[in-house]
Amino acid sequence: MIVTLTANPSIDRTVMLGGQLRRGEVHRIVASTSHPGGKGINVARAITASGVPVTAVLPGNAGDPLPNSLIEAEINHRLVACPGRARVNLAITEPDGTTTKINDLGPTLPADCRTAITEILREAAATASWLALSGSLPPGVPDDWYAELVATLRPLPARIAVDTSEAPLLALAAGFGTAAPDLIKPNAEELGQLTGLDGHALELAAHEGDPAPTARAARALIEQGGPAAILATLGSAGAVLATAEGAWYAASPPITPRSTVGAGDSSLAGYLIADLDGADPARRLAYAVAYGSAAAALPGTAVPSPHHTDPNAVTVTALSPTHL
């Protein structure tokens, strides 16, 4: 069983344009989609499609359209009664796959709701294999809430994955050495935030055939008391997986990009699915890249099912210790 937390859930609407987005001009939509969203929900959607048991934990109320959309999508979930309506996020996708995202803030998450969520996660951690804490934090939530959750849940049996950015990510990193999660999934920009490096330069180096800078940055965090594993996604350049035992790189298979929305979330889902199947690090990375690439090849906010993915088509390279 995998349990995901989406503290700031949303309804994700994607509109697809017939041409390039131009500021200040009128555009015609050629297609649109709407799905329950937020990073943890996206992870749960992809895991559900694979047939692996998953429960999505999220704040909300029965009068909000979001819980109904989860029911319609047959996503097993646990709703924590909280005031407010889920935010609506907009993604604008161009024919070449370029995606512009406009994300709402979301409702405030009061302290009593955070306490209720913490108790549900504590209960779940007794039997779940993984808890995945994903996405931004809503208004009113301290930046260090993920770090606090990790410290609370760390003694329990479930392993913990975190995928967030900016202030919550930096607050999480401040706790490395005492209460680090088992896995984090930064993109290149977020890895740069953690290490003081230029995330764009890390991704560019991988595009040019040199993933070693990303692997070195990730390994340095691990050696400083960070998570046991770091899955660093690098957009169309693929991904790097680093652990205390080594580092591996996988390039993305050739695809025609249609939308990058949810690609990173699908990568995390693929990794967790493979881990539950007992896969070794290289195989977990292959699944992550296969799922992330498949998501980028799908329209709107669609997430991949196993028939969209081919981990066997992903080439994984173990990086030499001399490069680390």
Q: Which two tokens stand for residue 252?
A: 């993305």
Residues with catalytic roles = 265
CA–CA separation, 300 and 310 (whole Å): 21
Of 136, 86, 78, 82, the C-alpha closest to 109 is 82
Q: 238, 211 in Cβ contact below 8 A?
A: yes
Q: 29, 54 in Cβ contact below 8 A?
A: no
CA–CA separation, 79 and 201 (whole Å): 41
Q: What is the dihedral of CA 255, 257, 258, 261, to 10 degrees?
A: 110
Going by C-beta distance under 8 Å and a sequence separation of 6 or more, which residues neighbour residue 245? 281
CA–CA separation, 232 and 221 (whole Å): 12
User: Tokens 């294999």 sit at which residue?
Assistant: 129
